[in-house]
A and B are shown apart, each in its own frame.
Chain A
């Protein structure tokens, strides 16, 4: 009797163990505002695999502090789709799982997006791998161009042209505007869409070693003047002044003539707003040239998670042809260079502009990105709002320049 009981409990325990190991549930966080590509690849994965991924969307402006507090409180998710610029900071704090050995044996490791891998590497160990790639591009609404008497197939090549086109589009109606940007203290939006104006013309907001703030340049003055001018001429909706990024995709409402957006937005427009007939081109610099911000997310794994194997399986799925196709369809550029052309085959041709932008794109490298740029109360976010909408442009330049420098100095 006792023997039988023992055997029964033994079998029951065995069942429990195998049951537990058969299907893992991976908790993953992803930031909002990057389109649907991640959501869709998770859906595709969940429907074909026994392991499941539970993705939680976190507002992009709060992801860093939420993740950091979750780590400190022992409540962190297993893995995270992290804005790639934050990978060095978290790797340096020793909070991420070392993926070096596993990553290097992937047959396509050498063709993974190099800038992502560079930012995912800290002291020669790899902590982050590319998950999604995006670049900023300039988009215009072809229907509004046509109505305003402009050539809908001709991409504007200078800001003078963009402003002139905006004036014509504004005349179409009370609620039709020529241009849009999220100017209400959205540092992330503005570094993505506004700095290409100065990058394209050879200036930058930080020195190459990241130790000096170089905000006050003739190029930046000119860029600010262009945006100020468009605001003053009423070519930009009044809501832009307080948009903290929530309405970044205002272009999708069909009443905005022109806007700088990202490749993610191309995917969103194509799949969810097929009625919007738009073109994309590279963002012009203020003095000629073009540029773009190369961003996107890195895949990072929280140190000490017990589900490493399941996470690896999911990453490998994302890197497979199938996974890459799903990602690309919803606007994430291919992370694997070796199959990039094949992945984009048959997809919207406008995605190629996003891919082309990579060659002129920049990504700032600084451990203080959140403090300097992305924080809603940081100097960059404050500067963009004060310089473009405020009354005192010189003061805005001086304040931001000195505050950026003091943040950089205090971090040394």
Chain B
């Protein structure tokens, strides 16, 4: 009796072990990709960050000096400041546009798939391509925006949008919103569509106003979706580089240098690969912390309240 039970137990254990091995086999390709293209490079970057590592020539071990240097580097601090400023503004702008768009294309109406396609279209353009396109649009003489304003009689002479910080920053924000809002809209749309129609119906019968339905029904049910869209948007903004590099080369008087731009400059213009690696690790830590904070604030992972 006991012998038979033990046999049964060991048999099921063996089976479990075998299925565990099989499970592992299934994820090996994915693991291999992650290890080769993420884990190893991160470890190597960490190793480089402990060296004085010029692009050409020999490297020298300097311990944590690159990390100490960072705290006294005023240019790095101003890059952090600018990136934070940009992230806040652009994220608010993207959500302010994407949310209304999502509610607009959620309802069944005529041509709704046409609207969705048109709004989503800029997303499939590469960011560098979009930046180049907008450099032309913003060109003072041969572009579109300035000459159009002049033709409409709104301004006396065509303004050079990329020459001052405020107008250049505004141009970039508009470009990024135009480019990204469609993507955020699609994510939010999936969240909206997942809300059962009966709930909204019931709330309406109970006499909840439009705003109340949005505030107490839609928003809480969309928390996970919003968290996803927010993390994608914030991460993307913190890693912004192309638009500043292409549209303003760092902006009038270096006022648009994002963190990634600064890392690029340190690594490939000043050839300090070691310091660039240290800055990259710092940026990675900042990103992880921000993502954890966002997940906490939005209480994703916990059950419904």
Given contacts A239-B141, A242-B160, A390-B253, are A371 and B56 in contact (CB under 8 A)?
no
Cβ-Cβ contact count across A and B, 8 Å cutoff:
77
Given contacts A65-B269, A239-B139, A239-B160, are A95 and B56 in contact (CB under 8 A)?
yes
Given contacts A241-B160, A377-B254, are A72 and B270 in contact (CB under 8 A)?
no
Task: Give the segment of A194-202, A270-278, A319-327, A381-389 that binds chain B.
Answer: A381-389
A68 touches B271 (CB 8 A): yes
B159 / chain A contacts, CB cutoff of 8 Å: 238
B250 touches A385 (CB 8 A): no
B288 / chain A contacts, CB cutoff of 8 Å: none
A72 touches B56 (CB 8 A): yes
Complex CA gap A370/B265 in Å reads 11
A68 touches B268 (CB 8 A): yes
Given contacts A238-B158, A242-B162, A242-B163, are A68 and B55 in contact (CB under 8 A)?
yes
Taking chain A's interface residues, is the majority helix, strand, or loop, or is none over half, making it mixed?
A: helix
B265 touches A377 (CB 8 A): yes
A386 touches B253 (CB 8 A): yes
A389 touches B163 (CB 8 A): yes
B158 / chain A contacts, CB cutoff of 8 Å: 238
Which of A69, A370, A396 is packed against the most chain B CB atoms within 10 Å? A69
> Does B257 have its Cβ within 8 Å of any Cβ on chain A?
yes
Q: How far is the CB of B12 from chain A (nearest CB, A)?
A: 54
Q: How far is the CB of A206 from chain B (nearest CB, A)?
A: 18
Q: Mark A82-96, 1 if CB is under 8 A from B, else 0.
A: 000000001001110
Complex CA gap A371/B250 in Å reads 15
Q: Which residues of chain A (171-204) have a CB below 8 Å from chain B?
A: 175, 184-185
> Does A133 have its Cβ within 8 Å of any Cβ on chain B?
no
B140 touches A239 (CB 8 A): yes
Instruction: Point out the residue from B140, B248, B253, B269 that lies within 8 Å of A375, measured CB to CB.
Output: B269
B268 touches A65 (CB 8 A): yes
Q: Which residues of chain B (220-279) have a CB below 8 Å from chain A?
A: 248-250, 252-254, 257, 265, 268-271
B56 touches A377 (CB 8 A): no
Instruction: Point out the residue from B55, B57, B253, B254 that lies within 8 Å of A94, measured CB to CB.
Output: B57
Interface size, chain B (Cβ < 8 Å): 25
B54 / chain A contacts, CB cutoff of 8 Å: 93
> Does A279 have its Cβ within 8 Å of any Cβ on chain B?
no
Q: How far is the CB of A32 from chain B (nearest CB, A)?
A: 15
Complex CA gap A386/B141 in Å reads 22
B253 / chain A contacts, CB cutoff of 8 Å: 185, 382, 385-386, 390, 396
Q: How far is the CB of A224 from chain B (nearest CB, A)?
A: 14
B141 touches A237 (CB 8 A): yes
A238 touches B163 (CB 8 A): yes
B55 / chain A contacts, CB cutoff of 8 Å: 68-69, 72
A376 touches B268 (CB 8 A): no
B270 touches A371 (CB 8 A): yes
B160 / chain A contacts, CB cutoff of 8 Å: 238-239, 241-242
A385 / chain B contacts, CB cutoff of 8 Å: 252-253
Q: Mark B186-225, 1 if CB is under 8 A from A, else 0.
A: 0000000000000000000000000000000000000000
Q: Which residues of chain B (148-172) have a CB below 8 Å from chain A?
A: 157-160, 162-163
> Does A11 have its Cβ within 8 Å of any Cβ on chain B?
no
Which of chain B's residues has its CB closest to A174's CB?
B157
Complex CA gap A314/B250 in Å reads 39
Given contacts A238-B158, A242-B162, A370-B269, are A377 and B250 in contact (CB under 8 A)?
yes
B141 / chain A contacts, CB cutoff of 8 Å: 175, 237, 239
Instruction: Point out the residue from B140, B163, B257, B269 that lies within 8 Å of A371, measured CB to CB.
Output: B269
B249 touches A244 (CB 8 A): yes
A396 / chain B contacts, CB cutoff of 8 Å: 253
A377 touches B249 (CB 8 A): yes
Q: How far is the CB of B225 from chain A (nearest CB, A)?
A: 39
A93 touches B57 (CB 8 A): yes
Complex CA gap A366/B79 in Å reads 27
Q: How far is the CB of A334 from chain B (nearest CB, A)?
A: 33
> Does A7 have its Cβ within 8 Å of any Cβ on chain B?
no
Besides the known contacts A241-B160, A244-B249, A371-B270, 15 further A-B residue pairs in the complex with CB atoms under 8 A apart: A65-B269, A68-B268, A185-B249, A185-B250, A185-B254, A237-B140, A237-B141, A238-B140, A238-B160, A238-B163, A241-B252, A242-B140, A242-B162, A377-B249, A377-B257
| 14 A/B residue pairs, CB under 8 Å, sorted by A | A69-B55, A93-B54, A94-B56, A94-B57, A184-B162, A237-B140, A238-B158, A239-B160, A241-B160, A242-B248, A371-B270, A375-B269, A377-B250, A377-B265
Where the two chains meet, the residues of B that have a C-beta atom closer than 8 Å to any C-beta of A are 54-57, 139-141, 157-160, 162-163, 248-250, 252-254, 257, 265, 268-271
Top 8 A-B pairs ranked by shortest CB distance?
A241-B163, A93-B56, A238-B160, A65-B268, A242-B162, A376-B249, A386-B253, A377-B250
